[in-house]
Structures are given as C-alpha cells and as structure tokens.
Structure 1
Amino acid sequence: MDSPFRLNDLYYINKQIIPALQRVFGLVGADLNQWFIEMPRPVREAFAKLPFFAPNAQRTRIDYYYLSKHCILCGELVQAAHICNQCLQKGASVATVVIGRTSKLEKEMQHLAAICQHCGGGDWVVESGVKCTSLACSVFYERQKVQKELQSLSSIAADERFCLKCMVEWF
C-alpha cells in the first residue's frame, strides 16, 4: 500500500466492468453507460497525485516522463513547485486554504481511526495508530488514501513554510 501508483479505475470500469454488467442489465432495458456518465464523481485533489518521496533521479520509470504537476489550489500546470506563481502571490489566503485542508484531512483521519477502533479486527494501539491491514475492508483503503493525501499536503505546507508560527508575521 506504500506505492505511489494508482489503479486507472475509469479504464477498468469503462472497459471491463460496465460491458460485463451491460450484458446482464441490458436484458431489462438498463443503460449502464449512460448511468455511469450521469453519476456524480468526487473531485480528486491534485496534490494527492504528487509523490511524497524524492523524485525519480534515475529516470527508470515512465512516471518520470509523463507525471504532470498541478497547482494544489487552482489546478494550473506548474514546473517545479506545488503552487503556481499567481496563487503564491496571495500569501495568507493560500496558507489558510492549505492549513484548512490539512485540518479537514486530520479530522477525517480521526473519524476513520474511530471506525477502526470499534472494529473487532482493528488491533487498536494508541501509540502507533491503527494496525489493521485487512484488504477486504473499504475503510482500510480510505484510511490509506487520506493518510497519503495528508502526508503530501503536510510536506507542501512545510516546504512553503505554512506553519502557525510563520504566519503570525503575515497578519
């Protein structure tokens, strides 16, 4: 689960799952392609796609050549940073957004940890967090995703010096 790579879920849904289900549900007149197109989707955070670890210096993986970096606020392409120059000029509001998102993710992580704490197979240990690694549990994957987003956003906040002590001088 430490891999920075994600499964291309839309490809597998459109090319594998929907055609198989369409053969079954087509008998009753359901159009799964149209249903899937109309279905609302959550907006994926751009910063979650950015790797938390050091860049691929050896250029051994294809992601080095094709991974695009986007501003975590407006989504514009950026060369090296996590925040574009236009957003970076907004200073205090950018810091507020980044810290607000971090706070939201921390609350979500606490909520997921509370769910795992009540699970019989959660093996809850306060000092080291949740030790559950059940691949059959949807909360496990959600917890991994939120943890990765939180690490990535915390790294960005540290790189941009968006800490409470640093922001005192802005106001």
Structure 2
Amino acid sequence: MRADPRAEPRYAERVPYVVIHGEPGARLVDMVVDPLEILAVNSPYRLNDLYYINKQIIPALQRVFGLVGGDLNRWFSEMPRPAREAFGKCGVHALNPQRTRIDYYYLSKHCILCGELVQASTHLCSKCSENKTAVVAAITGRTSKLEREMQHLVAICRHCGGGDWLVESGVKCNSLACLVFYERRKVQKELQGLSAVATDKGFYPKCMVEWF
C-alpha cells in the first residue's frame, strides 16, 4: 500500500499474513507482516513458532490426546527450548544503528564449516581458518552445489511459465501455493551467505543471487 494506495484491501477481504517475533511487550497487530516480507532473501524476520504452536497446533492435538488424559500444554511448557535471537519490525540494528553498545560485539554465531561458536564479525573459527586449502575447497564446493540446485529450480519455474528467459530479470513468480518457490528462497539465502563469505575471502567470484 505504500507504493500503491489503491492496493488497500476492501471490507471483508481476506488478507494473507504471518506472525513474526516482535519486541518484548509488542501487540499482535505489531507482529504481523506480509508473507513475502518474511520470505525475502534479506529478511531479518523469523516466524513466531511459539504463536503457531500454542494457537494452532496444540489446540488441535489436545482434542485427540485429551481422550487418553494427555496434557500437551503442560508437556510443551516443560520442554527445554534454546533461546534464539529474533528481530521485530524495527529491523536488525534499528535500536542500535551506530553499533555503539557493547552487546553488538558479543553476539555469537556458528562457523559455516564446522559449526563451532564464533564472534559475529567472523565467519570461520580459528581452527578452520588455519587450513586455508580445506576452507577454499569446502566453500567453493558448497557454492557450486547450491548454484546447480538453483539452476535446476529456475529451470522448473521457466518450464512452468513463471520465469523470464532474460538472466537479469530472474524468476518473477512468487506464488505462495508453490513448493518450488519456498525451496528457491531457501537455496537463495544459503547461496547468498556462502557467496558473501567466498567473495570476502577472495575464493570465489560473487554470485548474483537476485538473478534467480
């Protein structure tokens, strides 16, 4: 609606949406976005899994397991769950745009090769960084594999009619009912991450993910 005010939904019209993780104390209306926003390649949002588990999955399963005395709400509340970082509509660094707080420098993530914890400013752990030959082989191999997968998915989209034969135009189809669309978005995100690391290290030329 920002680009076209006439796109405002009419009265009683169904509008697709998904619930994402928001800031502490945020209202439900503040945690709702368009499905295409969360599926974007550079989207910082994460699906609010707890909302859908508590509001959609557990109530349906409780009607079945309740017949044998099962209490899924209690079982789910007692389950250990890892704490993961989630961003609201304000964006990743909206609350700290200048990155002046110390918490930004203590954010951790995993090594893209072995999975060990590393600082947010690096992509590889110290152990993997020592073996440069293995790093080059692993990154280029994974990038090449993802590129082949992406080309295969693009070929399916073009056969279906949702793709443009011009490389720069990419695939225009964004049907939420298509399984290939979700798989293409998944591979795009993985390919963009590996391509960025390979480009920074000078191992592999940058892949234009947006072309796909």
TM-score class normalised by the smaller sequence? 0.5 to 0.7
Aligned partners of 1:112 and 1:139 also within 8 Å: yes
Offset at 1:123? 3.9
Contact 1:109–1:146 under 8 Å retained in 2 = yes
CA apart distance, 1:130: 1.0
Deviation at 1:132, TM superposition (A): 0.9
Q: Counterparts of 1:123 and 1:82 in 2: how far apart (Å)?
A: 33
User: Which segments of 5 or more consecutive residues in structure 2 lack a partner in the other structure?
Assistant: 1-39, 73-91, 206-212
CA RMSD of aligned residues (A): 3.3
Q: Distance in 2 between matches of 1:85 and 1:142?
A: 32
Q: Does 1:132 align with 2:169?
A: no
Distance change in 2, residues 1:116/1:9 (3 Å): farther
Equivalences for 1:1-171 in 2 at 5 Å? 1-8=40-47, 10-26=49-65, 56=93, 59-60=96-97, 64=104, 67-79=107-119, 80-120=121-161, 122-127=162-167, 128-163=169-204
Q: Which of 1 and 2 has higher RCO (CA within 8 Å, sep 6+)?
A: 1
Q: Partner letter of residue 108 of structure 2?
A: S
Which residue identity lines up with residue 73 of structure 1 in the other structure? Answer: L
| TM-score, normalising length: structure 1 | 0.65
Contact 2:164 2:171 in 1 (8 A): yes
Deviations 1:39-84 (A, max 9, x none): xxxxxxxxxxxxxxxx8487149x9588532211112222221001
Higher helix share: 1
Aligned to 1:78, the other structure's residue is in SS state strand
The answer to whether the 8 A contact 2:195-2:204 is kept is no
Distance 1:150 1:24, change over 3 A: same
Please say which structure displays the higher CA radius of gyration: 2
Q: TM-score when scaled to structure 2?
A: 0.54
Identical-pair percentage: 50
Q: Is contact 1:70–1:77 with CA below 8 Å preserved after alignment? A: yes
- The structure-2 alpha-carbon separation of the partners of 1:2 and 1:107, relative to structure 1 and needing over 3 Å to count, comes to closer
Query: Could you tell me whether the CA contact under 8 Å between 2:163 and 2:170 is conserved in 1?
Result: no
Aligned length: 140
8 Å contact kept, 2:110–2:123: yes
Alignment gaps of 5+ in structure 1: 34-54, 165-171
Q: Is the 8 A contact 1:56 1:64 kept in 2?
A: no
